[in-house]
Every structure is written in structure tokens, then in C-alpha cells.
Amino acid sequence: MDSYHITGGKRLAGEHRITGAKNAVLPILAGAVIPGGVSKIRNCPRLSDVDAMVRILEGIGCRIRREDDSIEVDAGGVDSCRIPEHLMKEMRSSVFLMGPLLARCGEVVLSHPGGCEIGRRPIDIHISALRKLGVEIRETDGGLACRAANLKGTEIRLEFPSVGATENLMMAAVAARGETRILNPAREPEIRDLQDYLVSCGASVEGAGGPVIRVRGAGPLKGAEHRVMPDRIEAGTLLAAAAITGGQVLLTGAMPEDMEAVLEKFREAGCLLRTEGDKIELSSPPRLRAVDSVVTQPYPGFPTDMQSQFLALMTVARGECRIRETIFENRFKPAKELLRMGADIRIEGPVAVVRGVEALRGARVAAGDLRGGAALTVAGLAAPGETFVENVCHIDRGYDKLEVTLRKLGAEIRRIEE
């Protein structure tokens, strides 16, 4: 597997335009199955997860055309409701096809999804919610067989504001008779982006970002053109890379209004932030100060997808920081690797206690998941000496050539292909 070779200690500076959001493009590509026509999805990042989704779409009969940052999905030839098991195992986000295929075909057969090993991520919430719409779900050896002979709108309260369950419900409900009311939905900005795409296809969906989402079953949908929103996690990761190196970076094409919980923690760490329109500029002090507490929460709280990067950031901040993870139980896996780099981290159940050290040191470490790999890369940028980050295939799932972006900002980093 490929790895990164980083020579740390270089101050990052420069400008970068944020790419399309991984967490938005995947459900939108899945949703492109619902209309019988052609959808053109623009601002698609080059990610291995996007490549996997494209292979799944082709596997069920879609015709795909890619040009620059656009993906054209012609779903007119969909001829299968079975998602190949080997492709399901590649990525967790393949579960997003449950709702679209139920809406389009009335059935779907799938195995349990794969993805990063960051703890239990059961799809029980998806299953119980879809059953309330009238979906019959039968467990098979290693998977699920779902049928929707008569989807009927109803009121569904989610026990937890799951992003995936909210999106699956929205997409299935466009084919249900009557109105579906989703209570306690996830409110992430990516939910709004999916709503915008569905509405452009002719669906009746409203309320994304609020306490209730309403979906009224409409007639056949048409294909549409849609531009994917910018990736707030890529933006946060690059801000962390600049901050840990005492650098200064200007991000364009961002949506700072969707990142306030993250930006506030950078301010607490002593960074100077300026936001205007789609721009975020960060200037870092010579040494960061520790933030007293970080608690991951559903949006608009601090995102779990930024927890690992902030863990790395706090390893060199002056003072002590307590980071509580409330979403996934295994998201402190990078801590073990950061200890190899000289970090002072103590894990107390769902809390990581981080005491900042004067400096990290280069080491050979291994990425165990997407955001953990990004965190180790961020740490390596600040560590004197050489750092090797192995298994960067995890990083490729959510970042479009991260090493190229960092090199343009002044990092000494290269990919070693193996």
C-alpha cells in the first residue's frame, strides 16, 4: 500500500480552493438512480469512495460519463436491484443506495456495508425507519433483502439524528404515497445539499437543516444538473495543517457559515481567523494554546470527522485539552500512533486527555481509518525529522490528492507508491 514520506517542520502558507464534499457527493450520486433520465453532478472530487460508488452504479445498469470534475449518471438502464457484495465491502456509503433503489425498483438486496473501522455503526436506524414507510426487510446470511410493494408516507421520529438514515428516508419517501414527516433528522449541511438535488429533479422536499423534514410523494422525477457543496472537513483539515505548523492559509470556495463550531475551536487555540463570503483565512501563533474541552456532537456541534485532526493539533498546544467522543467509540485509534511520535495522550473511556509537548518527532505510523490518517499527516507536518504514514489508501477515500494540496502550500511531502 502507498505511504506518505513527510519531512516535518515546514511552515505552510498559501491559497487553496476547497473541493466538493465527500459526505454530499456520495448520497447525491446514489440519489441519481431515482430519476429515469440523466443527471449531471458537478464539482465531484477525485476520491476512491467516489470511484467505488461509480462502480456500484455501473454494476446495477447505470451508464457513467466522467469529464473533469463532472459525473454524468444515466439511470435509464437500471436493471438490477442487487448491489455486488465485493463493492459493498469497499465502502460504508454504499448503504445510501437502499432508499434510491426502493424508490426506483421497489426492492434492494445488499450485504452489510464496509468502510472505516471506527466502531459500531449499525444500520438498525435505517431499517426501523424504512419499515415504517412500508418496506419489508428480511435478514439473509450476511445481508438484507428489502421489498417495497406499497410505500406510504407517515410520521417517523429518528431515535438518533443519523445522517445516513435521514438521507435514505428522504430518498425512499419521494416514491411514497402521501406525506412523510421525518422528526429529529440529522441537520448537517450535506442533508440540505441532497434536498436541493432532489428538488431540482422535481421532488417535493423541504425542511432540511431544521427539526422536521417533509417529503411529499410526487410523480416520476427527471434528471437534473447539480453542483456539490464544498467539503467542510477538507477545509478543517487544511486549517489544522496550517495551524500546527505556525502557518497562514487562505481557503476559497468554502462555506464558513457551516463550520462555526470548528472555527470557534481554532480561535480558542489562539488562531486569528477572518471570514468573508466563501473565504476563510487563518493565521497561527508561534505556539497554539490548548482548548479546554472538545465534545463531538451532531451538527451544529463539533463534527466527529474533525476530532482526530484536532487531537493531533492539541499534541503540541500549550496546556491540557480534554476531547470527548460521543458518536463513535473507536475514534481514538490515532492516539496510539501519535504516542509513537512523542505525544502525551491518555485515554479514559470516551475521553482523550492531551497534554501538549514542545515538539513531536518523526516516526513510522500507520493510518487505520480516513480521518485518523489525515490526523497523522497533520502531525507529521509539524514533527522534526522524517515521518512515514502508511496505508494512505484510507486517506484517498476522502481527500483529493491531499499530498499535492499540502505540497502546494509548502509542505515537504511525497507519495511512495508500493
Burial of 159 (0-12, 13-18, 19+ CB in 10 A): exposed
User: Which residues share a beta bridge with 215?
Assistant: 180, 205
DSSP states of 132-198: HTT-EEEEETTEEEEE-SS-B--EEE-SS--HHHHHHHHHHHTTSBSEEEEES----HHHHHHHHHH
**What is the rounded CA–CA span in Å between residue 101 and residue 168?**
10
**What is the rounded CA–CA span in Å between residue 163 and residue 181?**
16
Amino acid letter, 417:
E
Burial of 310 (0-12, 13-18, 19+ CB in 10 A): buried
| Whole-number CA gyration radius for the chain | 21
Amino acid letter, 27:
P
**What is the rounded CA–CA span in Å between residue 138 and residue 123?**
14
**What is the rounded CA–CA span in Å between residue 31 and residue 104?**
10
**What is the rounded CA–CA span in Å between residue 254 and residue 239?**
12
Crossing angle (nearest 10°) for helices 22-31 and 232-244:
160
Strands 38-42 and 70-74: antiparallel
Kindly state the cell numbers that stand for 220.
Answer: 416520476
Please indicate whether residue 321 is annotated as part of the active site.
Answer: no
Which of the following is catalytic: 116, 146, 201, 271?
A: 116
**What is the rounded CA–CA span in Å between residue 18 and residue 24?**
14
User: Which residues share a beta bridge with 355?
Assistant: 320, 344
* H or E segment to which residue 365 belongs: strand 364-366
Residues assigned a catalytic role: 116
